[in-house]
Homo-oligomer: A and B are copies of this chain.
């Protein structure tokens, strides 16, 4: 019995991006950041600007922001007394490309 190959890098990468987008709160956040006003050249928004439009608690929103940050799709910039969240343009472009390629199959 030949042993089985592991998942390809590409499969792992696609799954990782999909996972980051697999919760409606995170889809909401991405849409919001992609469509909010520009600030220092990026689309930005604070957690406080989102909280009234999304049906979850502040701490839960914070957790989803953290996950998107961990996945590299967004980044946070401290601008006291708030934290402005922006799309991580470079990584988002790459993620889009990866999804595009998968879809085009």
Q: How many residues of A contact B (CB 8 A)?
A: 34
Asked if A41 CB lies within 8 Å of chain B CBs, one says no
Contact B28 A7 (CB under 8 A): yes
Q: Which of A's residues lie within 8 Å of B, judged by CB?
A: 2, 4-8, 11-12, 14-15, 18-28, 31, 34-35, 52-55, 96, 99-100, 102-103, 105
Q: Determine the residue in chain B with the shortest Cβ distance to A96.
A: B103
Q: Which residues of B contact A15 (CB under 8 A)?
A: 21-24, 26-27
Q: Pick the contact of A28 from B11, B24, B105 — CB < 8 Å? A: B11
Cβ-defined partner of A34 (8 Å) among B8, B23, B55, B105: B105
Distance in angstroms between the alpha carbons of A35 and B100 in the assembled complex: 16
